[in-house]
Structure 1
Amino acid sequence: MLTVNAYAAPSATGALIPTTIERRDVGPHDVLIEIKFAGICHSDIHTVRGDWGPQGYPLAPGHEIAGIVTEIGPEVTRHKVGDRVGVGCMVNSCGECANCVAGEEQYCLKGNTGTYGAVDRDGTITQGGYSTHVVVTENFVVRIPEGLDLDVAAPLLCAGITTYSPLRHWGAGPGKNVAVIGLGGLGHMAVKLAHAMGATVTVLSQSLKKQEDGLRLGADHYRATSDETTFADLAGSFDLIINTVSAAIDINAYLQLLALDGALVNVGAPPEPLPVQVFSLIGGRRSFAGSAIGGIRETQEMLDFCAEHGLGAEIEVIPAGKINEAYERVLASDVRYRFVIDAATF
């Protein structure tokens, strides 16, 4: 076992603290990665605070990992020492079910193995990227193209793929009107990606305080949902709405913004239910859907797309000692638009 420095939550209510965690020995198909940067996702906060169910502690979160391969197992063929690589929200799956075979490991019928807080194949609880090193089976490690710096690439392993996957699946592109609810860690990447795909992009935010940013990132329009005229003006406008907000909103009001056969796709994950009136769907043959991350193949596709189009996350790099402060700032929407931890400070 390899003992490495990390930051972990000791309980659902305690601040994250410096500690050490153990990584398994490198197996035949494993890759040892020296982590360079780890993004802070809103999901990290939900998970360590028990919003999505009880957890085992201590727990080191982090599933936006970018680093360098420092050791490989004897049977590894996909990566080599020195490669620039990333690890996202999952580190394993059954590999045998229909969804895994189809390259949709995120929807593994037996449940994929999350990067942290999940039962690993050796029976231990996985620990995430708030650490200096991680050991991952080669099939769940992706290549970070040379055109992407590691710090701006780290958030793409969650925020990037979480928005890229539904945009691709629901056909964002030229001639499509796409709305993005919320301009945060997920939302700012949704705007960048939808714009690069050729769609007409509108940001729907509570206020106009981030309007300048939204237009700079690629939005064609920016509307405040606190303005009572917004929902009347935009009724029936959008082919696709990506909801990135991890809080309760009036889904029925937003469904009225969809054109015929339009879809509202939730990628934000609030802990409370979101009530939907059936007539909000029936009226325009509308769909209300959800989407998780992408599979490994699609994650690599996303990284290559971002490198081709010069897309990276908008980040604020912090030392490990500021993680708890960063959590409070995320909850206060005081980050533009993703905190990234310098792993050298663990």
Structure 2
Amino acid sequence: MTSPAKGYAAGAADTPLAPFGFERRDPQAGDVVIDILFCGVCHSDLHTARSEWAGTSYPCVPGHEIVGRVKSVGEKVAAFAVGDIVGVGCMVDSCGECPSCAEGEEQYCETTGFVGTYNGPDPVLGGHTFGGYSDHIVVDQKFVLRIGHDEKDLAAVAPLLCAGITTYSPLRHWKVGPGQKVGIVGLGGLGHMGVKIAAAMGAEVYVFSTSPGKRDDAIRLGARDLIVSTDAEQMQAHANSFDFILNSVAASHDLDAFVALLKRDGTMTLLGVPEHPHPSPTVGNLIFKRRAIAGSLIGGIAETQEMLDFCVEHDLVSDIEMIGMAQIDTAYDRMVKGDVKYRFVIDMQSLKAAA
């Protein structure tokens, strides 16, 4: 059985998003039905809607930074009740049995891969999943998250479901904390959350950017200073001094300049997937100081809940600009130009007028 849903979808790579009616499954015993209040706009939404990554299934309803209110629950749901404020992030299912899933790292599911909140294989209805640019969503309780922030902050909480966990997970995995010098490469949707979270963990944080004009904002967000990455003198002044660097830039660029800033045994973790590969790093830079280049993908459900609780404890939310649903294509165009500080969030009440 199914129930009607309203959303906004891309019908093709080169057409604007438009109103779209579709079906959600009726709740199963372990499902939670969520009325969506806010949905963040991730760069991944744009890449997928415009088919800049391979494999988009159309019509595509993006959105994986979802905050909403529980409308109903299945008979086996005990952790959530009608009226609860909850979140849904980048995934809505996984095999649940492989070593990664068993260890709470569902994002690395080794059997089927995780099921994306949108554009993933729908395990119940068939076809593909539809995301948060919609009025409601039905999700297995194992992939629903508790939101503890004040209701006035809920719009700014939405980006934590992707940008927050994508930066929190590597910072936690590489044990960032007091006494460490940490660099954040790029000050966008991911980077600004990386600064806030690393600073809250007690690290001494620096931002790397090509834009000197972002210094005041970097400091406001919690950084000690901004280092202009194109200024060789500024970069050299920090050689061999960083414990950890979190690189949020998705464009292809020279990694050597940042690797040279790491201490012995330092790590730079990459978050972005560039359209074209990065130039090959100089192996000697790695060998002679036992440095590492690593990667990280979102985070598991338990760790995402831990991140949300950490953000409540430290009063952290994303810096956002609210938009209406009908403004989504303009928002995409502005996002390409970097014209947002630092995350668009859709007020899903606007869907009623837009549809």
TM-score range, shorter chain: over 0.9
TM-score, structure 1 normalization: 0.98
Displacement of 1:342 in angstroms is 0.4
Cα deviation 1:144-196 (Å, max 9, x = unaligned) = 00446210110000000000000000111101110000010000000000000
SS at match of 1:22: strand
Paired position in structure 2 for 1:220: 224
Letter in 1 for 2:61: A
SS at match of 2:207: strand
Paired position in structure 2 for 1:81: 82
Aligned residue runs from structure 1 range 118-197, under 5 A:
118-122=120-124, 123-147=126-150, 149-197=153-201
Cα deviation 1:74-124 (Å, max 9, x = unaligned) = 111121111100000000001111111111111111201011101021222
Paired position in structure 1 for 2:346: 341
For the residues of structure 2 that align with 1:86 and 1:170, how far apart are their CA atoms?
26
Gaps of 5+ in 2: none
For the residues of structure 1 that align with 2:33 and 2:258, how far apart are their CA atoms?
45
Paired position in structure 2 for 1:22: 23
Letter in 1 for 2:145: V
SS at match of 1:210: helix
Cα deviation 1:213-233 (Å, max 9, x = unaligned) = 110010011111122212211
Q: What is the alpha-carbon root mean square deviation over aligned residues? A: 1.0
1:48 is the counterpart of 2:52: no
Over the matched positions of the two proteins, sequence identity in percent amounts to 52
Letter in 1 for 2:141: E
For the residues of structure 2 that align with 1:40 and 1:338, how far apart are their CA atoms?
7
Paired position in structure 1 for 2:322: 317
Displacement of 1:5 in angstroms is 1.5
Paired position in structure 2 for 1:239: 243
Paired position in structure 1 for 2:202: 198
For the residues of structure 1 that align with 2:266 and 2:335, how far apart are their CA atoms?
31
Q: Count the aligned residue pairs.
A: 346
Letter in 1 for 2:328: I
Alignment partner for residue 334 of structure 2, among 325, 329, 332? 329
SS at match of 1:209: helix
Paired position in structure 2 for 1:115: 117
SS at match of 1:240: strand
Gaps of 5+ in 1: none
TM-score, structure 2 normalization: 0.95
Q: Is the 8 A contact 1:147 1:310 kept in 2?
A: no
Q: Is the 8 A contact 2:149 2:157 kept in 1?
A: no
For the residues of structure 2 that align with 1:296 and 1:6, how far apart are their CA atoms?
25
Displacement of 1:14 in angstroms is 1.7
Regions of 4+ moved over 3 Å:
none
Letter in 2 for 1:3: P
For the residues of structure 2 that align with 1:228 and 1:21, how far apart are their CA atoms?
54
